[in-house]
Structure 1
Amino acid sequence: MLAIRTARPDELPALVTFPDDAPRNTATAAYLTGLLESGCTRPDWCLVAESEGRLAGCVVLWTIPGRDVPMDIVLLEPGDPDTGRALLASAAERARALGAPNQGHVLDTPAQAPQFQRDPQLRQALLADAGFIVARDGIRYERSAGDALPTQDERLHWRPLADLGEAPFVELLADTFTDTADSIFQTEVAEHGLRGAAERQVAGMLEMDHQPGWFEIGYDAEGTPVAISMPARTASSAVIGLVAVAKIGRGRGYATAAVARGTRVLVDAGFDAIRGDCDAGNIGMARAFQRAGYRTFAHRKMYTRPL
């Protein structure tokens, strides 16, 4: 008999473990510990599937620290198809009861720490059956400790949000959204309009872990705002976050300049390993990461479903 329930305190943070797979078990437990400590999840958001006295699967609800409504699911261990379907149904029910209008999930290939999402074909089938659709087919990039810092673009001077306020970021981002190649932003614009989408993105970035001086606008020699750099930190890594280039600045390498700027900000803050991602169809952004010295390390599909 399969039962889906909240994990007991003694089952945290390990949840489901696998024999002879200490690297996976250790990394996953450390990741969940970080999520709990940062407020990205809560003990009552950690669900397990129990069958015949053993844990057969798990799923965890996730949100941005400070929010009371879960946004996504992480640490999905579906076990077999029946267990996976039951876990996804319970995750939807729990999130819906907490006021979530929709739910997201990301699937990275190849499988890697900290979530170790093995059996991607099974996961994709379960997500589709549960009503998830692909919101973005993306590429992930990273740099490591010891990598050379990208050259800073001396054509731009940077001013932080702490001096400028939010309005210039919203205005510039709305301008970049008129012809964005990113599917996530396209969906936001279709639903909320240019300014509404820009306001939502800036608000979302402000909720991420960052320092006041990290979010900046780059100005060219004439004083025209042409680029946005918004690096941040997640529970598992430092990230480039959000990069955008004004229409007037396209084709001049300013996306690379923004990635280089965000990288320098994070390295100066003590982070050596930095990650970033973009839509697979956003060729300009992909080139910017590559020119700034980043390497492709995974493909990421971002899923969403209404609740």
Structure 2
Amino acid sequence: MHFRSTAPSDLPRVLACEVREPIGSISADRYLAEAADGMYRPEWTWIAERDDRVLARALWWGPTDSAHPAALDCLYVDPTVADRASVGAELIAASLRAFAAAGAERPPLYNVTLTEGWRADAAVSAALAWRREAALAAGLSHEVERLRFEWSPDLGVPIGSGRLIFTEADNAAFLAVFGRIAEGSLDAETRRGLAAYGPEAAARKEMDFYLDCPGERDWWRLAHTADGTLVGLAIPSATPYHPNVGYLGVVPELRGRGYVADLLAEITRLHADRGAEVITATTDMTNAPMAAAFRRAGYRTTQVRMIFSAPE
């Protein structure tokens, strides 16, 4: 079997790969629309073929202005293949080697979108099982399950308690707060960054990530009590598709006092005041307090995502 990136002439065969399972599908219309914006590209689209027949396909996605892909959106292996996980793993691994050779600093992750309660659906569980096996075998061995939430205007803008004052600040001030709120965080990515890089470097990486997101830097806010005590930060941000709740956190000594609701209300209000029709948000399945805060603020659970990434 031959593994390679595609050329423009491969497009009809790429689009002909139809995912019939209940997860992991990207429609031809979406692929073409986002390819026109440079978010899917021939060199990021990989296939496995034998005798001119496409037996597997990997659709890697990245922001329009990115030199390298950020995530694997869709992994397809023909149902007639005896060991779909092995072929999928080889295709992912071949892609990752090529991206590294092209200068990618880190391997992109694999993002599998599921429905809430997916474990009770045998077809979804089976479709995830071979994809999970492929991701792990290809080296994307760090696994996190995340909940995706959405807010829309019909849900109403949550109202803060009025206890906090929100202000703008420079990057140095935000960097210091990123470092403080990382302590004791329940977020898996934050904990992983702390373990791999230490507090200062992890805080820098976290902040740099949000600086690179499509959201505007002047949306960011620090939160203080009326007497000037620092409470935390609230970062409204955006994806290429929607405004989102980028990052929020409370300093360790003030947790458990309900301030997270005030931070989330401020982020929601700032987006709503700019006319947002949808605000998205994610949190780890294991971060029960944050998930509960989203639900109390009226956010609805819309998806579950299994995210596979390379170890730090």
How far has the Cα of 1:36 moved from its partner?
A: 5.4
1:290 equivalent to 2:298? Answer no
Matching residue within 163, 170, 173 for 1:155: 163
1:222 equivalent to 2:266? Answer no
Distance 2:288 2:13 in 1: 39
How far has the Cα of 1:32 moved from its partner?
A: 6.0
Tell me, what secondary structure is at the counterpart of 1:152?
coil
Report if aligned partners of 2:26, 2:74 keep a CA contact under 8 Å in 1.
Answer: no
TM-score by length of structure 1 reads 0.83
- 1:55-204 equivalences under 5 Å are 55-64=54-63, 66-79=65-78, 80=81, 81=84, 83-100=87-104, 101-110=106-115, 119-160=127-168, 164-204=169-209
Distance 1:284 1:62 in 2: 31
Q: C-alpha offsets along residues 255-285 of structure 1, whole Å, 9 cap, x if unaligned?
A: 1222221122222223222221112222221
Distance 1:152 1:141, change over 3 A: same
1:48 equivalent to 2:47? Answer yes
Report if aligned partners of 1:102, 1:306 keep a CA contact under 8 Å in 2.
Answer: no
How far has the Cα of 1:68 moved from its partner?
A: 2.4
Distance 1:168 1:32 in 2: 42
How far has the Cα of 1:250 moved from its partner?
A: 1.0
Instruction: Give the residue type in structure 1 aligned to 2:183.
Output: T
Distance 1:83 1:26, change over 3 A: closer
Distance 1:191 1:25, change over 3 A: closer
Distance 1:225 1:135 in 2: 33
Which runs of 4 or more aligned residues in structure 1 lie more than 6 Å from their structure 2 counterparts after TM superposition?
none
How far has the Cα of 1:34 moved from its partner?
A: 3.3
1:305 equivalent to 2:304? Answer no
Distance 1:157 1:226 in 2: 10
Alignment gaps of 5+ in structure 2 = 117-123
Distance 1:42 1:165, change over 3 A: farther
Alignment gaps of 5+ in structure 1 = none
Q: C-alpha offsets along residues 134-171 of structure 1, whole Å, 9 cap, x if unaligned?
A: 342222222234221111331112123xxx11111111
Report if aligned partners of 1:64, 1:208 keep a CA contact under 8 Å in 2.
Answer: no
Distance 1:188 1:280 in 2: 18
Distance 1:25 1:282, change over 3 A: closer
Report if aligned partners of 2:90, 2:138 keep a CA contact under 8 Å in 1.
Answer: no
Report if aligned partners of 2:3, 2:46 keep a CA contact under 8 Å in 1.
Answer: no
Tell me, what secondary structure is at the counterpart of 2:271?
helix
Query: Which residue is 2:238 aligned to?
Result: 233
Query: Which residue is 2:119 aligned to?
Result: none
Distance 1:95 1:169 in 2: 32
How far has the Cα of 1:20 moved from its partner?
A: 9.4
Distance 1:234 1:157, change over 3 A: same
Report if aligned partners of 1:48, 1:59 keep a CA contact under 8 Å in 2.
Answer: yes
- The alignment's C-alpha RMSD in Å is 3.1
How far has the Cα of 1:4 moved from its partner?
A: 3.2
Instruction: Give the residue type in structure 2 aligned to 1:210.
Output: G
Distance 2:222 2:28 in 1: 36
TM-score by length of structure 2 reads 0.82
Report if aligned partners of 2:224, 2:231 keep a CA contact under 8 Å in 1.
Answer: yes
Tell me, what secondary structure is at the counterpart of 1:119?
helix
How far has the Cα of 1:129 moved from its partner?
A: 2.0
Distance 1:50 1:240 in 2: 41
Number of equivalences: 297
